[in-house]
A and B are shown apart, each in its own frame.
Chain A
Amino acid sequence: MLFRLEHLSHCYSDGTLALNDVTLDFAKGERIALLGTNGSGKTTLLHHLNGILKPTSGRVYFEDEPLKYDSKSLLDLRRKVGFVFQDPNDQLFAPTVKQDVAFGPLNLGQPVEQVKRVADEALRTVGMAEYAEKPPHFLSLGQKKRVALAGVLAMQPQVLIMDEPTSNLDPRATSEILHLLLRLNKEYKITLILATHDVDMVPLFAKKLYILSKGKLVSEGSPEELFANAELIRSVSLRSPRIAHLFEVLKKEDNLPINPRFPLTISEARKEILRLLGYRNENEEKETSNR
């Protein structure tokens, strides 16, 4: 297992119990989403994966070894596990884009020439190479998010953790970030773990979904499994993706013979509609693997 959390609890100094006895496993190469409302403990959980927070009780294992919190072990962990923060203004502190991207690799003690190379490459990957010499305050929020991502990619991590990667982004910037993440997972085999409350985005991205509520792990499974359980979703103050909701209404109110596993994405919905209308799609088999 890549990560294993065992009976993890975290209590902040002001007394809030942010995580309450969470046990779970994250597999390598996976695309994982943590779903929950604001204050459900997603961010706190993520902060444990990269050693930013220490558990109040319980344990965190990375590659089957318990995390150690001395500075050398932490540096080692942080090279492998990159963390992109929700607000890029927290992360971008350097006066220029390139300086900021170079910060991580320089901390890893890489030689200057190599740092320049990886920084340029990371900026190209996120499509921000032409902004290398600009100060961050010249950029839009979407651009800042991409630079923040580049700053972490430059450390060449195996795991990428992102807190609300699409919050406050316009539709176009959202889809750009999503495609970028999918590409990183596919081409570089980077394990992706992200926290979100954007239920419409989850099925587009995640293979594996964990639902948190009030600091507890409520459920885990594939997005299809979990979103099929409407009661569960409502009990944690979330909702189904819009598309699934539409099909739920069509089934309940109009008694259409819809599969109990509601479609979650446009391509799934298209298939279901075609099935209902009696069309047979010849490429059906192919499309299933393409979602």
Chain B
Amino acid sequence: MHIMEGFLPHPWWEIWFAISAVIVIFGIYKLSKLTKKFPEAKPLLAVMGAFIFVLSALKLPSVTGSCSHPTGSGLAAVVLGPAIASVLSTIVLLFQALLLAHGGLTTLGANIFSMGIVGPFVGYALWIASKKARVPTSAGVFLAVALADLSTYVTTSVQLALAFPGTSFADSFITFGSIFAVTQIPLAIGEGILAIFLFDFLAKYKGKLLSSMNVIGLRVGSQSSEDAE
């Protein structure tokens, strides 16, 4: 769910740019430390970014018959951690704006915040929490991915309601939220189920995944696939 180019008025697009910049700059700092230590991380992260882009261009069948696409940010967060996921999302969103005319340049900041920061962060937190609570893996995956999706759309609604408050912020939020809910709730469920299948599939290739993840020195990623058993 991207906010279209030009939709956010001044000063809101600048505000979201500023907020996202702080987090993305932190991510860039972490990323350059990582790539200095492991030169092989650069091509590996790049192919992951390309993967997220291609994934986002994939149409996901949804129950209502309308089509939308998976965000992939949940997966990226679980594998890479939210900070680096936010940097990759930034690049992917820029490519979507420039190569698909999908989402915009002035709205980039707002879209990074909802898709590249809130979504991954919520997904990641739920993933960790569900493992602590010993929830079955498939339920944990479903919750993390579906709620990462939903949190992205709630954030987008908040962003729009702040920019177009009308009589009151709450009314406006409910209006935007209920419009999106029609497409986004079935989509989130779809992507959640998809993630369960995907996780099953990837678990079979654990060895390969583990070695690649260790290459980029991400203990979080390797632990999570270990615990998946």
Contacts and interface: CB of A to CB of B under 8 A. Distances in A.
In the complex they form, do A and B come into direct contact, defined as C-beta atoms under 8 angstroms apart?
A: yes
B211 A93 contact: no
Contacts of B43: 93
A74 to B, nearest CB: 13
A84 to B, nearest CB: 18
A187 to B, nearest CB: 34
B98 to A, nearest CB: 13
A289 interface: no
Interface residues of B, number: 3
A243 B43 CA distance: 45
Contacts of B211: 13
Interface of A is mostly: loop
Nearest to A14: B207
B130 to A, nearest CB: 32
A47 to B, nearest CB: 16
A93 B207 CA distance: 27
Contacts of A93: 43
A93 B50 CA distance: 12
A276 to B, nearest CB: 57
A3 to B, nearest CB: 27
Interface in A64-106: 93
Interface in B138-177: none
Interface in A252-268: none
B216 to A, nearest CB: 17
B43 to A, nearest CB: 7
A93 B43 CA distance: 9
Nearest to A93: B43
A13 B215 CA distance: 14
Interface in B188-229: 207, 211
Nearest to A13: B211
Interface string A178-201: 000000000000000000000000
Nearest to B47: A93
Interface in A234-281: none
Nearest to B46: A93
A14 B210 CA distance: 13
A11 to B, nearest CB: 16
A14 B207 CA distance: 10
Interface string A1-31: 0000000000001100000000000000000
Contacts of A13: 211
Contacts of B207: 14
Nearest to B207: A14
A37 to B, nearest CB: 24
Interface string A125-136: 000000000000
Contacts of A14: 207
A92 B43 CA distance: 12
A67 B60 CA distance: 52
B208 to A, nearest CB: 9
A17 B211 CA distance: 19
B206 to A, nearest CB: 13
A16 to B, nearest CB: 13
A14 B205 CA distance: 13
Interface in B24-53: 43
A22 B211 CA distance: 28
Interface in A142-160: none
A14 B211 CA distance: 11
A95 B62 CA distance: 35
B76 to A, nearest CB: 21
Nearest to B211: A13
B169 to A, nearest CB: 44
Nearest to B43: A93
A13 B43 CA distance: 21
A79 to B, nearest CB: 19
A13 B207 CA distance: 11
B151 to A, nearest CB: 34
Interface of B: 43, 207, 211
The 3 closest A-B pairs by CB, nearest first: A93-B43, A13-B211, A14-B207
3 contacts: A13-B211, A14-B207, A93-B43
